[in-house]
């Protein structure tokens, strides 16, 4: 059968590495194949080649789509009628979109008042049933896992192994584009599924000889929600980067394994550093990402530009890298997901009468 342009999503691109068969109906929105954008200003700062894997350009504007196409396709294969997830926002947006595509009901359980506006709108428009609980993400995930045991819903959180299978394809794409794995991969860590998936992807391509090196994995958390950094779960995680506001990561063991096996590290940055990095990335590199997505950038700025560099546990990793290293940062979600948090940077526009002269005057006076 001839492939039409619209169905070149991650399943069709990497079918032989994914748990799908002829019997699996492919539910895809043409996710994946996101750009690996060279970042000249960061590269200069770090004296290496820095690339941004811009996952904000997926169909629902976060990397969650890579795993969701596999999870929902498998749910369809097993004739599921409804899917269920807990979410800090992006999982629900993605689940709702793919469930809509598959004609399934989607129920999402969210921490009340802690979901970015863009993500909330997505869940509603894609037609999900939205339940807000008086609790945090960890509470929501606990409830979802209990409800999942009843058997009438398929849980599509990253505890669903098909999610991580799909997400590992980002590592495949990076290897294909660079011709090798990077020396270092830095990404945000919340529930820790993505760092687990990337490491799996890098390992799989290494094992079949499609790359000859493995990267060091560096996972970055927000300082108010840094259980992996501290090595212990947290009861009251707090950060404005809502996508990583998680105290009890479900993929704890996978994340610790990735960091140990790759001789990597967990590190953390503060909310102030996150906000500064968000503005910096948009204004210096032209890439607008949501707060959780810029924690790797915040870490680089801290290590290479701040007096506080000695506070960074991962600093020593940089001194062990080869000269002019290749470093990839995953930019996990689009900035327009959460314009409210970035709105601190807004000021009133300059005011002018509707004439060329008046406009020129205010521009020159600014």
Ligand X SMILES: *Cc1c(COP(=O)(O)O)cnc(C)c1O
Angle at 94 between CA 88 and CA 97, to 5 degrees: 135
Euclidean distance between CA atoms 209 and 181, whole angstroms = 12
The residues with which 216 forms a beta bridge, in sequence order, are 184
Instruction: Establish if 190 lies at the interface with ligand X (CB under 6 A).
Output: yes
Which residue among 32, 48, 148, 188 contacts ligand X (CB under 6 A)?
A: 188
Instruction: Establish if 292 lies at the interface with ligand X (CB under 6 A).
Output: yes
Q: At its nearest, how many Å lie between ligand X and the CB of residue 324?
A: 28
Which residue among 243, 258, 312, 317 contacts ligand X (CB under 6 A)?
A: 243
Burial pattern 129-139, b for ≥16 Cβ within 10 A else e, equals ebeeeebbbbe
Give the per-residue contact string, 47-66, with ligand X (x = CB under 6 A; - = no): ---------------x-x--
Between 184 and 325, whose beta carbon lies closer to ligand X?
184
Instruction: Establish if 275 lies at the interface with ligand X (CB under 6 A).
Output: no
- Site size for ligand X (CB under 6 A): 18
Instruction: Establish if 192 lies at the interface with ligand X (CB under 6 A).
Output: yes
Euclidean distance between CA atoms 242 and 198, whole angstroms = 21
Instruction: Establish if 244 lies at the interface with ligand X (CB under 6 A).
Output: yes
Q: Which of residues 305-334 bind ligand X (CB under 6 A)?
A: 332-333
Between 158 and 160, whose beta carbon lies closer to ligand X?
158
What are the phi and psi torsion angles at 50 (to 5°)? -105, 130
Give the per-residue contact string, 63-92, with ligand X (x = CB under 6 A; - = no): -x-------------------------x--
Question: In angstroms, how far is the first alpha carbon of the chain from the final one?
Answer: 60
Euclidean distance between CA atoms 89 and 58, whole angstroms = 15
Residue nearest to ligand X (CB): 333
Stretch that binds ligand X, among 147-155, 170-178, 182-190, 225-233 (CB under 6 A): 182-190
Instruction: Establish if 290 lies at the interface with ligand X (CB under 6 A).
Output: yes
Stretch that binds ligand X, among 175-183, 188-196, 229-237, 278-286 (CB under 6 A): 188-196
Between 49 and 116, whose beta carbon lies closer to ligand X?
116
Chain CA centroid to CA 97, Å = 17
Q: At its nearest, how many Å lie between ligand X and the CB of residue 250?
A: 8
Instruction: Establish if 242 lies at the interface with ligand X (CB under 6 A).
Output: no
Give the per-residue contact string, 90-129, with ligand X (x = CB under 6 A; - = no): x---------------------------------------
Which residue among 194, 239, 242, 278 contacts ligand X (CB under 6 A)?
A: 194
CB 299 within 8 A of CB 220: yes
Report the side by side order of strands in the sheet with 216-222.
36-38, 49-54, 326-331, 184-188, 216-222, 265-269
Chain CA centroid to CA 259, Å = 17
Burial pattern 78-101, b for ≥16 Cβ within 10 A else e, equals eebeebbbbbbbbbbbbbbbbbbb
What are the phi and psi torsion angles at 47 (to 5°)? 60, 50
CB 42 within 8 A of CB 297: yes
Which residues in this chain contact ligand X in the complex, by CB under 6 A?
62, 64, 90, 158, 188-194, 243-244, 290, 292-293, 332-333
């Amino acid at each position: 059968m001839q492939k039409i342009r619209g169905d070149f999503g991650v399943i069709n691109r990497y079918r032989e590495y994914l748990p799908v068969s002829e019997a699996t109906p492919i539910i895809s929105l043409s996710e994946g194949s996101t750009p690996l954008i060279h970042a000249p200003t960061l590269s200069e700062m770090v004296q290496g080649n820095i690339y941004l894997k811009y996952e904000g350009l997926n169909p629902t504007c976060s990397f969650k789509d890579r795993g969701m196409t596999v999870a929902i396709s498998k749910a369809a294969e097993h004739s599921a009628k409804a899917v269920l997830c807990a979410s800090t926002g992006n999982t629900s947006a993605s689940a709702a979109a793919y469930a809509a595509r598959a004609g399934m009901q989607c129920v999402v359980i969210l921490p009340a008042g802690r979901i970015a506006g863009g993500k909330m709108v997505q869940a509603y428009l894609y037609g999900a049933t939205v339940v807000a609980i008086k609790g945090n993400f960890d509470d929501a995930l606990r409830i979802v896992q209990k409800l999942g045991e009843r058997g009438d819903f398929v849980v599509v959180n990253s505890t669903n192994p098909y999610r991580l299978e799909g997400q590992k394809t980002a590592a495949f794409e990076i290897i294909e584009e660079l011709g090798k794995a990077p020396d270092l991969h830095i990404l945000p860590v919340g529930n820790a599924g993505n760092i687990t998936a990337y490491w799996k992807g890098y390992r799989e391509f290494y094992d079949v000889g499609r790359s000859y090196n493995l990267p060091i994995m560096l996972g970055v958390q927000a300082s108010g929600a840094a259980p992996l950094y501290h090595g212990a779960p947290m009861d009251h995680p707090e950060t404005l980067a809502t996508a990583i506001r998680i105290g009890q990561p479900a993929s704890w063991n996978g994340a610790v394994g990735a960091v140990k096996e790759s001789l990597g590290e967990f590190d953390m940055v503060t909310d102030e550093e996150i906000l500064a990095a968000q503005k910096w990335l948009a204004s210096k590199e032209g890439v607008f990402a949501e707060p959780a997505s810029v924690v790797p950038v915040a870490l680089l700025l801290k290590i290479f530009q701040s007096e506080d560099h000695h506070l960074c546990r991962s600093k020593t990793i940089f001194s062990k890298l080869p000269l002019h290293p290749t470093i990839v940062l995953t930019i996990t979600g689009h900035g327009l997901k959460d314009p409210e948090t970035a709105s601190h940077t807004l000021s009133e526009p300059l005011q002018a009468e509707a004439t060329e002269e008046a406009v020129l005057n205010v521009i020159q006076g600014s």
